[in-house]
Structure 1
Amino acid sequence: MRKSKKMILPLVSMLVMSILLSACGGGDSASSGENGSSGSGKVTISFMHWRGEDSEAFNKTIDAFEKENPNIHVEMQTLPSDQYQSTVQSKISDGSTGDVFASFPGAQFQAFSKAGLFTDLTGSSFLSAYNPKLIEAGQHDGKQYAIPYQLVYNDPIYNVKLFEKYGLTPPKDWEGFLALCQKLKDNGIIPIAFAGADIGPGQFMNTMVMNNAPSDDIFTKVEAGEAKLTDEFWVKTLTQIKELNDKGYFQQDALGTKDPAAGALFIQEKAAMLASGSYQLAQNKQQNPNLEQKLLAPITVSADQAKYEGVHTTTFMLAVNSKSKHPEEAKKFLEFLSKPDVAGAYANQTGQNVTVNDVKYDTPELQVAGEWANKKTVFQPRFTILNGDNQKAVTNSIQAVLSGTSPEEAAQQAQAIIDQHIGK
């Protein structure tokens, strides 16, 4: 009995050592385990963005991608857009999440560029799937760091049937726009539903300033100290927004109204216009199938002085995290999203126009936005402001005039903040 115990002990020791050695020797398998299922070689990549309303469409896209790429699993994480702008940089900075992530153009894109979070996509074969003019917002120093996936028109939406009922057509000058608003108000209709508490100032400022601005790069000049918000172009813009508010062309307490409440006024046909953009067309239609919608932009000058008919933005800029442990797999996912049939399915499911060529749009809402492709539009002025604090100062000046501050004083307060950042 003692002899058998002596024989068993070495055997047990050998077995333990064998297990330990096999665990240590399985370096490749352990590495694969980090990528996904332990020892399976399956890679998991993280896809992070702010459009939670697109989750159903993206889940279908991810399922199709995983069938085509069985060794890659995509986990999607979304945040509300305001949280995304304020917190996403810290979340993705170590590469543990957001192998593929979305960026807003302008200030956020600039911040990510400075932080070195973008992988250089220049020369990638899938870039040929895009309209080259529409992906320029994702370029920095001549390199393509992100791909704007969505094409948005930041022009107010109007209720076609209400306009027809009162014999109204989109005006071609400021006096015409004021007259249109007064006609609606006289008939008990709110002219403009305005989300003054959150997205309204940032959206509406674009069409309001587009023809007032002396140049397309005016905000670049402001940030460089070569122009000021106290100059005529911005004081005039604030004055006109104040005029709309003072005349009762926004709903009561516009400053306290958030986006869902403003949207509800339009969807319920209590308001004839909604100060948002084409991205909201599909959502409105879903909630009120009887709505007939089109886009218009207030022309703040005389017809002969108007340079632009509206505003466009190429946004939802997709990028590969420079800190990603799986850059090739992340690029494969971007390549898949770039296919016209994949982009088309996403567009038609979500109601978002895209920057990919040869996409067929099935819905009236997408076709409405598509009508603007041949109009003279300017890239969203707000997103040419590259410092986040400066951008907030500009939109805050709109909220200030809604609260009763004079346009001159509101402009001066905003300029003081910009002065603090000049030269930094």
Structure 2
Amino acid sequence: MTAIPQERRVVTAIPGPKSVELQARRLATVAAGVGSTLPVFTARAGGGIIEDVDGNRLIDLGSGIAVTSVGASAEAVVRRASAQLADFTHTCFMVTPYEGYVEVCEQLAELTPGDHAKKSALFNSGAEAVENAVKIARIYTKRTAVVVFDHGYHGRTNLTMALTAKNMPYKQGFGPFAPEVYRVPVAYGYRWPTGAENAGAEASAQAIDQITKQIGADNVAAIIIEPVLGEGGFIEPAKGFLPAIAQFAKDNGIVFVADEIQSGFCRTGQWFACEDEGIVPDLITTAKGIAGGLPLSAVTGRAEIMDAAHSGGLGGTYGGNPVACAGALGAIETMRELDLNGKAKRIEEIMKGRLAEMQAKLPGGDVIGDIRGRGAMIAIELVKSGTKDPNPEAAAKLAKACHAEGVLVLTCGTYGNVLRFLPPLVIGEDLLNEALDVIEQAFGQI
């Protein structure tokens, strides 16, 4: 898969001297608003390893935020993208089209849920895909209102900031935001007042009641939800919630949009997370894992909905760039050949087993309030001992301790108290277990 030795190696402090030097250059010229989880500068990456400019090798449990699912230098991605680079880098599909764009749309029609006729439009980023899904839903339904959910995240553009629930750091100071966006409850089982077993039915009933009374179902163009809520804390809506919301949308002529930008392309052990409860969305937005690290996103959906926009109404100069399309075809080839859905399920088995042992046996393990997620999209929610009070300090300390030992982990969650794990689906089991050993040791430092 990669020439980089698949072993953790810490030879300097993290970050090392060369990274510190580069960080000084960065601070002089890169806008302060662009943050980084860990300021080690990457020299190369592949498989389950990121190698920095100081020669440290970190075990990667972030995948560039669920992007490099096939690894950061997958052979098929490199091969196909390199060949395309040699032919041409750009013509703009809206000027003179090319086969790669069509091939990606064909793959999306085959892989996404449902056997109905489907079409796609390609863009550059997840936020761009979500924004275009709203455009398409509005022109199709001739309605304006958009419904989203507590703890949801959909992007950083003006419209997608409005769709996103969490204020800091995504929205603070950047308003005013786009109108006609309405937020309703989600079935967050761990924190549902009457218990997780009631969350699906009660939260869907509350959401539907609010939509009906406060907005009017006939005014709603789209309902948008992440089948596993990403930045909000890897929240799996309690069983029954998604089917009830999808059925309500169907009954009222509302376009149901599954935002699979973080959860798609084998990440949860299925091609798309909405498949878990048999949901067939009207539109599905994808990005992140679609192209092995190259910038590409898509809106895929029912042909009659996708065709509602007039010619020229959708597009963008770089949307469906030929090199990115080649990368996507290489990533999908890799996912099929290596059965990355199966590998994601195996990662879940290993991680949940080890994390449950930590929760039960470790001194301080009771700060793990909840272990959740599917496939290689796993998280632990950290709380103050004996309570469900969020413990963001523990999440920060754990992440810092892991980073110092050469394991890259990410935090998330509305309360900043969730440690999330997004390893490349190609990570070796020995490397994954070594990372879990480091996480286990890190609990001794909180």
What TM-score range do you get, normalising by the shorter chain?
A: under 0.3
Which protein is bigger by CA-based radius of gyration?
A: 1
Higher helix proportion:
1
Could you tell me the TM-score, scaled by structure 2's length?
0.27
